[in-house]
Amino acid sequence: MDIFKKLFTAVRGGTREIGEAIVDSQSMRIFEQEIEDAKKSLEEAKDGLTEVVARKMASERQYKALQTEIAENEGYAAKALDKGDETLALEVAGKIAELEANAAEIQGHINAYETHAETLKQQIHRAEQQIAEHERELTMVKTQESVHKATEAVTQSVTMNQSSLGSARESLERIKKKQQLRQDKVVAGEQLHAEFSGSELDKKLTDAGIKGEASKAEDVLARLKAKQNG
């Protein structure tokens, strides 16, 4: 059982390492996608803010209309009182109270919309700053990556050139060795030819003064001297 547990743990560890390796290799692309996702969410937040502000504006219009209606009914109540019709004035006052209650409720909605809108504005502002910062960081990372790639390319090119130069030098040395070998073969061939034809021996005898024109002349001179003395 312990062996199976260890194997299972090893497999999980290997899977995690593979996953981390994939994430590392695609980190820049993932970062770019996260920025795009954040921008999309930001646009949705702005749409939400627009809707909240629009609802606030609609509520403000309702509130203004209610205030106008309240003022109008207050005028009616005042006229009823002027005429001594308190019953009618009380009825109008009841309507005014209802309108004021509606206005108070709508004012609460307006306040809520305003608070929500301010919160969204702050969140959107922070999100815009963060996205801008991430985009600056992404630009820097891309630039750094380009520099690294350029450096690697130059290094690889220099390495390849050095390898090519080394290979060229090796080729030159091989050519020189082949040329020297051919020259040695020519010299060796001449030496062997001289030995086999006897010319090498004649050369050695001549060089030693044993054989040659000079040796014959001396022999003739010695013979002539001997005849004269005899």
CATH of the domain at 48: 1.10.287
Q: What confidence score (pLDDT) does residue 22 get? A: 47
What are the contacts of 109-112 at 24+ separation with CB within 8 A?
A: 109/55, 109/56, 109/59, 110/56, 110/59, 110/60, 110/63
pLDDT tens digits for range 165-219: 667 677 778 878 887 878 877 777 666 666 655 566 566 666 666 555 555 666 6
**One domain, residues 117 and 188:** no
pLDDT tens digits for range 150-179: 777 776 766 665 666 667 677 778 878 887
**One domain, residues 146 and 198:** no
**One domain, residues 97 and 208:** no
The residue range of the domain holding 21 is 2-175
Residue pair 89/81 in contact (Cβ under 8 Å)? The answer is: yes
pLDDT tens digits for range 33-61: 888 898 899 899 999 999 999 999 999 99
Backbone angles phi and psi of 209, in degrees to 5: 80, 15
Question: How many structural domains compose the chain?
Answer: 2
pLDDT tens digits for range 82-124: 999 999 999 999 999 999 999 999 999 999 999 999 999 999 9
State the Cα–Cα distance between residues 41 and 6, nearest whole angstrom.
Answer: 43
State the Cα–Cα distance between residues 114 and 121, nearest whole angstrom.
Answer: 10
